[in-house]
């Protein structure tokens, strides 16, 4: 038997796609405020958005006659006919967000239009009465107790801190996408972001810090009828994850594979593995060649011609990074009188229209490397490959591995340090000791690394970590998602010796570090901790830090090539406590044993 679903059922089903988390509620409400012509928007959340979300704007407002219709499914003021779908210029247009949100929450809309203020509430999809109210021009939407009537959805929400982090990341993108609008964002009654609508530079400084602007190129380019503006990091500026990448297509934030791949390939020669470019880019192109109705949350778009979009973005970004002739035309504020390098062939097509460009840019988009037939890439210098002779049947690594296995099997790992006689060093890395008919080569870095790791781990587990105050505190700037993660795990970081506290809206202040690691590179350490937010959310920081302790010990240990004093050599041996079988935290042996017999075999004195 086929049944027609009632509104309370199909609205909850729609909510599963449109309103899956608090951040998506904020997204829909703020987009409506922007479409209403607001110049000032205030966003306030409590409990990560699960308890309450309030969005207030000074837009055109909703008249009393339309207030009830705002809660109805598929009701919108942004479309009038099917033809309008071919050239959508507003952010919200489907008319299902308000109905979906209202069906799974306690929602109230108070709006002022034409000097009259009216209010209408909706409890779990059931509308109340329209009542007179007081308020300024615009609309205030309050959403409380999200998913109160759908416990299965409520159960799968993340912690308050994680939900708040995702909302903060979403609000940051609104600050960037609409730098002409004044935003105020509060979490738990505290102001996290406040912008004044005074331009993109100000917005980037508020979200990422003023120092970020000093490490970026500001670009403004037009190629093949496509406009590309914004900021891209310079060749030496990278981030530990992709959460610092923002793309806005015709004013809408999206995550698009075509543009992401174009930028990544342009940076390929400048960034190491697991380093990601920073960018805030605005792509403007004719609405008729962009399909924004391909994703339930409008989080992606489809281009009529991916090749042209890819080629335009790639050529602009790579020209700026490579310093080609086009860079002076693309970079805002570049000196026009500077000496230019030889022009690249494709630069002649910079003034082509979009249809003409489709014929010129005929190359495949490949997920690996750069496009194989791009005519404007600089030729790479030839590389002479020198191959080493074929290795012997048993490599030195395999032989050493076999010796260590035999040594550990025999149980002869620990010896009395007093029986060892120091004979010198080799390559300023390996310490040579003699004991009877045996010689020991100790890797000073691996041995010291293991000692530091064991010391840190033991103190951490016993909560006996000593902290070393810093002369000047280190300020760590983070984005919304990273802020939420560190905020949740501050106590664990304090337990291993860091004195860390919130500092401003989007940063932390580190005042002390573990005493054993007083010279650690904090920027590098926290870059590694935050390298993969998806991984961080799946495991506990306490488990992750066991690996990070090894990294910290590695960075603090004496390095190969460093000259040790006699006292340092003696101290290292004493701390090893005669354990010649230790390995560094990454599994490399710290000591190799060679017997007199083995040496004599090498010199053919015996067979």
pLDDT digits (tens, 9 = 90+) for 231-258: 999 998 988 888 899 999 888 888 888 9
Rounded to whole angstroms, the Cα distance separating 90 from 80 reads 13
Residue 384, SS3 per DSSP: coil
What's the confidence (pLDDT) of residue 17?
Answer: 58
Closest CA to 223 of 122, 99, 350: 350
Q: Order of strands across the sheet with 421-426?
A: 421-426, 430-435, 438-443, 591-595
Tokens of 280: 């805030």
Q: In the predicted model, what is the mean pLDDT of the chain?
A: 78
Tokens of 340: 């230019």
Name the band, by pLDDT with cuts 50, 70 and 90, for residue 379.
very low
Closest CA to 352 of 293, 311, 314: 311
For residue range 536-583, list pLDDT tens digits in order.
Answer: 454 455 555 555 566 666 666 676 667 788 888 888 888 887 788 888
Looking at residues 489-504, what average pLDDT do you find? 82
**Is 510 a residue whose pLDDT tops 60?**
yes
Assessment of whether the complete model's pTM goes beyond 0.85 = no
What's the confidence (pLDDT) of residue 100?
Answer: 86
Looking at residues 339-346, what average pLDDT do you find? 36
**Is 182 a residue whose pLDDT tops 70?**
yes
What's the confidence (pLDDT) of residue 588?
Answer: 82
In angstroms, how far is the first alpha carbon of the chain from the final one? 91
Cα atoms in the 13 Å half-sphere on the side-chain side of 155: 3
Looking at residues 341-345, what average pLDDT do you find? 35
Q: Which residue has the tokens 């203020």?
A: 117
Lowest mean pLDDT among 34-43, 146-155, 379-388, 586-595: 379-388
For residue range 65-114, list pLDDT tens digits in order.
Answer: 888 888 887 655 554 444 544 445 556 544 568 888 998 999 999 999 98
What's the confidence (pLDDT) of residue 114?
Answer: 86
What's the confidence (pLDDT) of residue 533?
Answer: 58
Q: Which CATH class is domain 393-533+541-607?
A: alpha beta
Tokens of 451: 């000692």
Q: 402 or 347: which carries more pLDDT confidence? A: 402
Lowest mean pLDDT among 44-53, 177-186, 363-372, 410-419: 363-372
Rounded to whole angstroms, the Cα distance separating 219 from 330 reads 5
Chain centroid to CA 572:
40
Looking at residues 359-364, what average pLDDT do you find? 43
Q: 277 or 568: which carries more pLDDT confidence? A: 277
What's the confidence (pLDDT) of residue 298?
Answer: 55
Residue 559, SS3 per DSSP: coil
**Is 343 a residue whose pLDDT tops 50?**
no
Looking at residues 170-175, what average pLDDT do you find? 93
Q: 484 or 300: which carries more pLDDT confidence? A: 484
**Is 483 a residue whose pLDDT tops 70?**
yes
What's the confidence (pLDDT) of residue 602?
Answer: 87
Chain centroid to CA 602:
53
Name the band, by pLDDT with cuts 50, 70 and 90, for residue 363.
very low
Query: Contact, 248 vs 281, CB < 8 A?
Result: yes
Closest CA to 165 of 546, 542, 536: 536
Rounded to whole angstroms, the Cα distance separating 71 from 93 reads 14
On whether the 215-360 domain is CATH 3.30.230.10, my answer is: yes
Task: Show Cβ contacts of residue 394 under 8 Å, excluding neighbours closer than 6 positions.
Answer: 402
> Which DSSP symbol is given to 389?
P
C-alpha Rg value of the chain to the nearest Å:
31
Task: Show Cβ contacts of residue 385 under 8 Å, excluding neighbours closer than 6 positions.
Answer: none
What's the confidence (pLDDT) of residue 281?
Answer: 95
| Domain boundaries of the chain, sorted by first residue | 7-197, 215-360, 393-533+541-607
**Is 389 a residue whose pLDDT tops 50?**
no
Long-range contacts of 536-544 (CB under 8 A, 24+ apart): 536/485, 537/158, 537/162, 537/485, 541/489, 541/492, 541/493, 542/492
Rounded to whole angstroms, the Cα distance separating 154 from 91 reads 27
Q: 604 or 42: which carries more pLDDT confidence? A: 42
Closest CA to 94 of 21, 186, 28: 28
Q: Return the ∠ at Cα 213 (arms to 210 and 214), rounded to 5°.
A: 100
Alpha-carbon distances of 65 from 34, 119, 124, 360, 420, rounded to whole Å: 21, 12, 22, 53, 94
Q: 89 or 584: which carries more pLDDT confidence? A: 584
Looking at residues 343-351, what average pLDDT do you find? 37
Alpha-carbon distances of 332 from 326, 501, 558, rounded to whole Å: 12, 37, 45
What's the confidence (pLDDT) of residue 406?
Answer: 57
What's the confidence (pLDDT) of residue 329?
Answer: 85
Q: 445 or 54: which carries more pLDDT confidence? A: 54
**Is 217 a residue whose pLDDT tops 90?**
yes
Q: 326 or 63: which carries more pLDDT confidence? A: 63
What's the confidence (pLDDT) of residue 382?
Answer: 41
Dihedral of CA atoms 431, 436, 438, 442 in degrees, nearest 10, equals: -20
Sequence-ordered strand ranges (E) for 444-544: 467-477, 499-502, 507-514
What's the confidence (pLDDT) of residue 436?
Answer: 85
Instruction: Report the percent of the chain where pLDDT is more than 90.
Output: 27
What's the confidence (pLDDT) of residue 85?
Answer: 47
Residue 568, SS3 per DSSP: helix
10 Å CB burial of residue 587 (0-12, 13-18, 19+) is exposed
Tokens of 242: 């992709």
Name the band, by pLDDT with cuts 50, 70 and 90, for residue 606.
confident
Cα atoms in the 13 Å half-sphere on the side-chain side of 209: 16
Name the band, by pLDDT with cuts 50, 70 and 90, for residue 480.
confident
**Is 386 a residue whose pLDDT tops 50?**
no
What's the confidence (pLDDT) of residue 560?
Answer: 64
On whether the 7-197 domain is CATH 3.30.565.10, my answer is: yes
Looking at residues 502-518, what average pLDDT do you find? 80
Query: Contact, 114 vs 51, CB < 8 A?
Result: no
Looking at residues 389-396, what average pLDDT do you find? 48
Rounded to whole angstroms, the Cα distance separating 209 from 230 reads 16
Query: Contact, 480 vs 166, CB < 8 A?
Result: yes
**Is 501 a residue whose pLDDT tops 80?**
yes
């Amino acid at each position: 038997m086929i049944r027609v679903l009632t509104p309370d059922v199909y609205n909850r089903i729609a909510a599963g796609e449109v309103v899956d988390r608090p951040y998506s509620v904020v997204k829909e409400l703020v987009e409506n405020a922007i479409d209403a012509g607001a110049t000032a928007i205030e966003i306030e959340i409590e409990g990560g958005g699960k308890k309450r979300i309030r969005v207030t704007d000074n837009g055109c407002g909703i008249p009393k006659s339309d207030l009830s219709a705002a809660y109805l499914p598929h009701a919108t003021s942004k479309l009038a006919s099917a033809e309008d779908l071919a050239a959508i210029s507003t952010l919200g247009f489907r008319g299902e967000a308000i109905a979906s949100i209202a069906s799974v929450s306690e929602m109230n809309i108070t709006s002022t239009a034409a000097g009259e203020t009216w209010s209408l509430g909706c409890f779990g999809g059931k509308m109340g009465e329209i009542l007179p109210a007081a308020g300024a021009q615009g609309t205030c939407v309050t959403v409380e107790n999200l998913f109160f009537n759908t416990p299965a959805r409520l159960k799968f929400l993340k912690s308050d801190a994680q939900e708040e982090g995702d909302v903060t990341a979403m609000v940051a993108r609104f600050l960037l996408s609409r730098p002409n609008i004044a935003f105020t964002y509060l979490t738990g009654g505290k102001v996290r972001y406040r912008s004044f609508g005074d331009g993109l530079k100000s917005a980037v400084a508020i979200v990422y810090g003023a120092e970020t602007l000093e490490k970026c190129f500001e670009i403004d380019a037009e190629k093949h009828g496509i406009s590309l503006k914004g900021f891209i990091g310079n060749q030496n500026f990278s981030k530990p994850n992709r959460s610092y990448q923002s793309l806005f297509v015709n004013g809408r934030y999206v995550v698009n594979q075509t543009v992401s791949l174009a930028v990544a390939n342009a940076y390929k020669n400048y960034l190491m593995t697991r380093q990601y470019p920073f960018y805030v880019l605005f792509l403007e192109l004719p609405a008729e060649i962009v399909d924004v109705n391909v994703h339930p949350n409008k989080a992606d778009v489809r281009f009529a011609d991916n090749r042209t979009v890819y080629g335009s973005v790639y050529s602009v970004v790579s020209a700026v990074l490579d310093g080609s002739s086009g860079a002076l035309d693309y970079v805002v504020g570049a000196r026009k009188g500077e000496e230019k390098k030889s022009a690249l062939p494709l630069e002649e097509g910079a003034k082509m229209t979009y249809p003409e460009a489709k014929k010129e840019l005929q190359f495949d988009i490949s997920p690996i490397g750069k496009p194989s037939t791009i005519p404007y890439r600089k030729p790479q210098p030839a590389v002479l490959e020198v191959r080493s002779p074929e290795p012997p049947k048993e490599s030195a690594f395999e032989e050493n591995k076999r010796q260590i296995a035999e040594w550990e099997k025999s149980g002869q790992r620990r010896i009395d340090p007093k029986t060892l006689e120091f004979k010198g060093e080799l390559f300023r890395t390996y310490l040579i000791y003699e004991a009877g008919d045996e010689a020991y080569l100790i890797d000073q870095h691996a041995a010291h690394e293991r000692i530091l790791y064991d010391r840190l781990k033991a103190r951490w587990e016993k909560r006996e970590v000593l902290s070393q105050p810093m002369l000047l505190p280190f300020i760590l700037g983070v984005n919304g998602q990273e802020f939420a993660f560190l905020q949740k795990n501050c106590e664990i970081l304090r337990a291993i010796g860091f004195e860390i506290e919130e500092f401003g809206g989007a940063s932390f202040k580190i005042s002390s570090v573990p005493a054993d690691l007083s010279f650690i590179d904090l920027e590098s350490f926290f870059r590694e901790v935050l390298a993969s937010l998806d991984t961080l959310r799946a495991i506990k920081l306490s488990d992750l830090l066991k690996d990070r302790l090894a990294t910290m010990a590695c960075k603090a240990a004496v390095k190969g090539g460093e000259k040790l004093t006699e006292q340092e050599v003696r101290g290292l041996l004493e701390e090893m406590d005669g354990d010649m079988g230790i390995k560094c935290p990454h599994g490399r042996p710290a000591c190799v044993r060679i017997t007199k017999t083995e040496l004599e075999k090498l010199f053919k004195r015996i067979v």
